[in-house]
Structure 1
Amino acid sequence: MSAILSADDLNDFISPGVACIKPIETLPAQKSEDNSNAYEVTTEDRIAASNPPPPAQISLTDCLACSGCVTSAEAVLVSLQSHTEVLNTLDAHPSLHPSWLSHEGANGVTNRMSYRINRTSNGFNGLGKLGNGKIFVASVSPQTRATLATTFSVSESQAGNMVTQLLSGPTGLKAGGAHGSSFTWVIDTNVLRDACLVAAADEVLSSTSQSPTPNAEGSLEAPLKKPILTSACPGWICYAEKTHPYILPHLSRLKSPQALAGTLIKSVLSQKYGVPPDKIWHLAIMPCFDKKLEASRSELTSAAWLPATHDATTPAIRDVDCVITARELLHLASARNIPFATLPLTPLSRSARPPFPDPTLDTWLFPPPHSRARRRAQHPPAGSSGGYLYHILRTHQARHPGSEIRVERGRNADVIEYSLVRGAQTLVRMARFYGFRNIQNLVRRLKPVKASRMPGARGGGGVRRVGAAEGRDAKAEYAYVEVMACPGGCTNGGGQVKVAEVESVRAEGGMVLGGSDAGVGSVAKPGPKEQKEWLGRVDEAYFSASEGSEAEDEDGNGTADREMLNVGEGDVVDGISHRFVHDMLDHWARVTGVELQRLICTSYRKVESDVGKKKQSDVERVAGLASSLGGGW
C-alpha cells in the first residue's frame, strides 16, 4: 500500500487492538551431527540464535481472521493492493486485447455488435500464443469521479473521461511500461449499482421475519430477519462479523457494485468464452480503503460461481484483484509521469473501445449517451452512498398510490428516519445510520434480549423491535436500515481527497494553480468547517452527475442501440427500469449457466477471537504440531 494511509488518518474508526499479532508456530530444528560435546551446557540465547523463526508475513486474510482491529485500521497492514501493484502487474503481463473477436455483422454492418469467439485446441484464438498476458478491466465508482471533479474543477462526467483516458487512452498508461499494457474496458459501477438497487428492493419486499436455521447465520440458506441492514460497506461488515455476530441474520445477502462488477466480467468471459479467470485482472477504483478488505474475502472468488464439475484442485481466483482509491489513482499517473490534469476531458470514441463479446451485456455495461439504460443523476435525499434506502422506499411508494414520504432527523445529521404514510397509516419505516458512533447505538438496539432468571418471568429471550417506539403500531418497526461506516457517507471515504490535500494533489496532477479555486486548501491547518464545506462541494458534484446529458457518441449509435433495449415504461422507479434490470440479470445467469443467486449474493461468517481465552501449554502446542507433521512422542 502506498504511504498515504497511516494510523493518524484513521480518526473516524476504532483503533487497532493491542493483540494485533499473527502467531507463528515453529519446532526446534534437529541438530546436525558434529563433533561437539553432547553433554555441553548451553544457553537459551544460543539456541534462539541458531534457530531463528522465519520472517512473519501478514496478508489481508490474516487481518480478516483477527479481531484485534475491526475496520480501516486493518488496511495499514496491507501491502499488495496499491498503485505500485497495478504498475507491476501491467509491466509483467502484456494486454490481451480482444483481437480474438470476429465480426459476424451482415453486409459489414456491426452496429448490432454480433461477435463470436474462435476457440483453438490451446485455448482461444490469439490468447494461446500469449500465455503470460491478461485482459485488464477496471471499474470506477461515482464517488471517486466526484472527488476528482471537485479537485480539478471539472464536471463529474469529465472526471470520468479523464480516468478512462488514463487507463485506456493513447496518452495514458498505454504510452509507457514494459509492454504498453492498458485496460481494455473501464466500467462505470453505476450500472451495477442499479442492479443492486433493484435486487435490494426485491429482497426487502419478499423478506420475512422468520428465525434463521441453527448454525446458518449469514449464509445464503438462512432467511433474513428484520430490519434488513445494508451490506455494501465492508467496514461495517467486518465490524459486524467480528464483534456482533447476532447481526448476521439481518445483513442483506447482495454483493456490492464492486463485487458484482468483478463477478460479471470474470464469470461471463470464463463460462461462455473460455477465458480462464486468472487471465482476467480486475482493478476497482473506490472511495474507501475498506474495499481492499472486501476484495480479499474468500466468498468473493471464482469458487462461488464455478460449476460443481469444475476441478476443485484449481485455486480460486478473486473477482476483484486489486482496489485503489482516488489518491492512489493520482499516484499511478505520477509514477508514469502523466499529469492527470492534462488528460483529455472528452470520452474515448466507441470505435476505440473494443466491444464486450456479449452484445446484450455490452449494451448494458456501456450504454450509449441517450439510452434509457444510462443512469441519471441521483437526488440529494438518496444520499451519497448509492441510494439503497431511497430506492427501496420509492419502490414501496410506487406500489401504494397516494402515499407520501416523511423524513425525520435523529440525534444528529447522520441518523435519519423515513416513513411511508398514507393518511394516518404508517406503511413502512426505514432509517439511515452513518458513522461508527451511530452504528454502535444501532447494534445495541438489535441485541437480543436476555432471558430473565427471575421467578415467574416469561421463558426465553426476545428480540427488540428496532424503530418501534413505545405506543406505536408493532408493524412500525424498521423494515430496512442503510448502514455506512463513514460519517457523511461514501463521498467522505478514507481514500477521497481531503481539503488539506487539495493544493498538493493539484500540483501533483500537473494543474496550474490560479483563478477562483486557487485558494482552496490554502488554509494552513483547515479544520472541520473547511472539510465540511469541501465535502459539500464533492456531494454537489456527485448529485449533478448526469451522463445522459452528454452529446451523442461519435459513431452516432445512440438511437440504434436504444432500440435494442427492452425498457419497461410502467415499472420505472427513480429512473431505473426494474424489468430491464431483471432481463439483464436473467441473461447473465443464462449465458453463464449459473444460478442467479450464486452470482449476485454472498454470505457472511462469525469471526471468533482467541484473545483473552485460555491458551494451550507449550507441551500441548508442540504435541499438536508434531502430530500434524506426522511425528509423535
Structure 2
Amino acid sequence: MAAAGFSSALKISDLNDFITPSQECIKPVTVEKQKKGLGSIRIGDDTDDLTLETPKIQRVQITLNDCLACSGCITSAESVLITQQSTDELLRILSESADRHIVVSIAPQARASFAAKYNVSYRSAGYRLRSFLKKLGVKEVLDTSFARNFTLIETKREFLKRYKEDRSRLPMLSSACPGFVCYIEKTHGEAILPFLSHVRSPQQVMGSFVKTFLGSKLSIAPDKLYHVTVMPCFDKKLEASRDDFFNEVTQSKDVDCVITPVELEELMLKQNVVFTDLEDTEESPSGQFALEHCYQHKGSGSGGFGEYVFTSAVRELFGEEVPFCDFKTLRNKDFTEVMFTRGDQVLLRVAICNGFRNIQNIVQRIKRGTCNYDFIEVMACPSGCLNGGAQLRPNEESPKELLDRVVELFKESQQSGGRSPDSDSAVDELYRDWIADRAERLLHTKYKAVAKSTSGFTVKW
C-alpha cells in the first residue's frame, strides 16, 4: 500500500499534523541466538553450478490487534500489513461466501468527499456509491448518520450525569476518534482516561445495530452477517479490531471490515468503473438507516458533539434555549469555544479541539488542573473528520481547495431538513424496541491504558 495510506506513527516531540505519512514502527523483532555448530565444505568440479540458493522468506504479517497491544507508536503505521481490513478481503468474502449477507454502512464524511471530488451533490454521491457496491454483490447499503443519534444522546446523558454527580471527571472528552483514544491509552494512560467518554462511536453503534437489531429483523444470525463500513479515517480499522467489539457468544465482530474512500476509489479504478457513470437513483427506503432517510446533525463536520452537548446542557441544566451556537476561534481555526453566561458568571464552557498540537495543550492543562472546560469535542485530524487521512486526494486542485468544497457540501447537507435526535420518533422507537435496558452493553465501551515497552530498542537516538 502506498506510503500515504495510513496515518502517521506519532512522535511525542512533533505532534502537529496527524495525517503526515511515516514509515515507522518501532516494535523490535526478537532475534534468538543460535548455538555455533560445525560446518562442512563440499568440493566440486568446474562444471558444478555455483549459484547460491536463497531461502524464500515469508513476509511478516502484523494484525491490528498487535498494533493495539504495542506501545511502540500511537496509531497505525504504513508498514503494518492489513490482512482483514481491505477491499481485497471484501472481494474475497463476496466471491467465496455466498451464504453471508453483506451490509455496508457509509459515513457522511466519505459521501461528502466523493461529492466534492466528482462535482455531484451529497445525495447523488451516496446513491452512486450504493450503485457500485450493489453491483459487487452487497445486499444492504446504509448510512451511519442515524447511528450518530444514539452516540449524541448517550454522550449528552453521560455528560449531564458527570456534571451533576462527579465534576472531578470534567472536562469530559469525546471518544469517537480512535486516533485520539489510542494516543491517550498509549501515552497518558490513567492520568487522562477518567476524562474520556465511554460512549461508542457511530461506527460501533452501527455495528451493534446491524449485528443485533437488523439481523433479528432479517432472521439472519450475526455470524452470517458481514458488516463493512466506509470511513474517512484509516484508524477506524483499529477501532473495529478492538477486542471489546467482538462478541464471544456469536463469535462475531460488530464491524468485520473497514474500507476508506481512497481504497474504494482505487477499487473502482481497478474495475474500470467511472464514478460519474454510476446510477444516481433513489430506492424505496428500507428503514431509518437508508440513504434516503438520513440527515446531518448541526455543528461540526465531525458529528456535532460540541454543539449538541452545549445546547442540550443549557436547556436541561439552566432551563434556557440556545437558538444559535456561536463558537469563537481562539489560537487557531482548529480550537474554538462557546460559553453560556449569566451576568458575569460563566456557567458552561465547551470547546472543539482538532489536531494533535491543540490536543497536547489540552492534555497538559488537564494534568496541571488548569483546564476550565466542561466538555471538549476532540478529533486527531486538523479540521476534523472532513479532513480525515483516508479522504479522496485531489487531481489538479490543491488539497485545501478540495477540502473547502468538502466542507461546503457537508454544510449544504446539514441544511436539508436536519432535526435533533431528541425530537426524532424513529430514535425513540429504536430505544424502545432495540435498546431497551441494554444501553450500557450496546452503546458503551471501556478504554484501558497500554503499558509502555521498556525495550532498549524503542529508544530514539
Return the TM-score normalized by structure 1.
0.62
| 2:366 corresponds to | 446
Question: Quick one: structure 1 residues 55 and 140, their matched pair in 2 at CA, closer, same or farther if it must change by over 3 Å?
Answer: closer
SS at match of 1:337: coil
Q: In the aligned structure 2, how far is the partner of 1:204 from the partner of 1:22?
A: 43
What is the DSSP-based 3-state SS (H/G/I as helix, E as strand, rest coil) of the residue aligned with 1:441? helix
The alpha-carbon distance between structure 1 residues 8 and 398, as it changes in their structure 2 partners (threshold 3 A), is: closer
For the Cα contact (< 8 Å) 1:378–1:543, is it kept in 2? no
- Aligned position for 2:289: 365
Cα distance change, pair 194–234 in 1 and its aligned pair in 2 (3 A): same
| Alpha-carbon distance change, 298 to 74 in structure 1, aligned in 2, over 3 angstroms | farther
Correspondences of 1:96-107 after superposition (within 5 Å): none
Give the residue type in structure 1 aligned to 2:354: Y
Residue 480 of structure 1 is matched in structure 2 by 375
Instruction: Give distance in 1, aligned partners of 2:327 and 2:414.
Output: 26
Are the counterparts in 2 of residues 157 and 546 from structure 1 also a CA contact under 8 Å?
A: no
Conserved 8 A contact 1:288-1:493: yes
Equivalent of 2:122 in 145, 156, 159: 156
Q: Given the alignment of the two structures, is residue 537 of structure 1 paired with residue 405 of structure 2, yes or no?
A: yes
> What SS is found at the alignment partner of 2:5?
coil
Alpha-carbon shift at residue 88 of structure 1 (Å): 1.6
Residue identity matched to 1:88: R
Question: Helix, strand or coil for the counterpart of 1:58?
Answer: coil
Go from structure 1 to structure 2 and tell me whether the alpha carbon gap of 1:68 and 1:74 turns closer, same or farther (over 3 Å shift). Answer: farther
1:73–1:140 Cα change, 3 Å? same
| Cα distance, 1:397 vs structure 2 | 3.2
1:338-368 deviation digits (Å, cap 9, x = unpaired): 2222001222345xxxx5xxxxxx3x32386
Q: Name 2:71's counterpart in structure 1.
A: 67
What is residue 38 of structure 2 aligned with on the other side? Answer: 42
Larger Rg: 1
Q: What amino acid is the match of 2:202?
A: P
- The 1:586–1:21 alpha-carbon spacing in structure 2 relative to 1, beyond 3 Å, is farther
CA change 1:347–1:164 in 2 (3 A) is same
What CA distance in whole angstroms lies between the structure 2 residues aligned with 1:52 and 1:166? 39
Change (3 A) 1:208 1:429: closer
Separation (CA, whole Å) in 1 of partners of 2:214 and 2:247: 12
- Tell me which residue corresponds to 2:212: 267
Separation in structure 2 between the aligned mates of residue 67 and residue 492 of structure 1, nearest angstrom: 26
Shift of 1:607: 0.6
CA distances 1:251-281 after superposition (whole Å, capped 9, x unpaired): 1111111111111111235567763322111
Q: Which residue among 21, 39, 43 is the counterpart of 2:28? A: 21
Rate the CA distance shift 1:238–1:23 in 2: closer, same or farther, 3 A: farther
Moved more, 59-68 or 577-586: 577-586
Alpha-carbon distance in structure 2 between the residues aligned to 1:87 and 1:614: 38
Which residue pairs with 1:167 in the alignment? 133
Alignment of 1:508-587 (within 5 A): 520-521=396-397, 530-545=398-413, 574=420, 576-577=422-423, 581-587=427-433
| Cα gap change, 1:416 to 1:6, in 2 (>3 Å) | closer
Offset, 1:283: 0.7
For residue 72 of structure 1, report the CA deviation from its aligned partner: 4.2
1:258 corresponds to 2:203: yes
Aligned length: 435
Residue type of the alignment partner of 2:356: F
Equivalences for residues 359-438 of structure 1 within 5 A? 362=287, 364-366=288-290, 374-375=294-295, 377-379=296-298, 382-399=299-316, 400-401=319-320, 405=325, 407-438=327-358
SS in 2 for 1:183: coil
State the alpha-carbon separation in 2 of the partners of residues 75 and 183 from structure 1: 30
CA change 1:58–1:93 in 2 (3 A) is same
- Equivalent of 2:239 in 281, 294, 300: 294
CA drift of 1:423 comes to 3.4
2:452 to 602, 609, 612: 609
C-alpha change, 1:153 and 1:483, in structure 2 (3 Å) is same
Distance 2:4 2:86 in 1: 10
| CA distance in 1: counterparts of 2:449 and 2:185, whole angstroms | 5
Distance in 1 between the 2:335 and 2:6 partners?
Answer: 28
Partner SS state of residue 263, structure 1: helix
Of 168, 173, 178, the match for 1:229: 173
Match of 2:5 in 1: 5
Alignment match, 1:135: 101
The alpha-carbon distance between structure 1 residues 195 and 83, as it changes in their structure 2 partners (threshold 3 A), is same
1:200-238 deviation per Cα after TM superposition (whole angstroms, max 9, x unaligned): 111111115877xxxxxxxxxxx9811110100000011
TM-score, scaled relative to structure 2: 0.84
CA distance in 1, matches of 2:279, 2:399: 29
Q: Is the 8 A contact 2:7 2:234 kept in 1?
A: no
Structure 1 stretches of 5 or more lacking a match? 30-39, 95-132, 174-181, 212-222, 304-309, 356-361, 450-463, 468-477, 503-519, 522-529, 550-571, 616-633
Q: Which residue is equivalent to 1:123?
A: none
**Over the residues paired in the alignment, what is the CA RMSD in angstroms?**
3.5
Q: 1:186 to 1:145 in 2, by over 3 A?
A: same
Which amino acid in 2 is paired with 1:301?
F
Residue 414 of structure 1, CA deviation: 0.6
| Cα distance in 1, alignment partners of residues 79 and 423 from structure 2 | 37
Cα distance change of structure 1 residues 224 and 75 upon mapping to structure 2, 3 Å threshold: farther
Q: How does 1:191-210 map to 2 (within 5 A)?
A: 191-208=146-163
CA contact (8 A) 1:7 1:76 kept: no
Please state how far the C-alpha of 1:480 moved relative to its aligned partner. 0.6
Cα distance in 1 for residues equivalent to 2:164 and 2:192: 14
Cα distance in 1, alignment partners of residues 455 and 164 from structure 2: 35
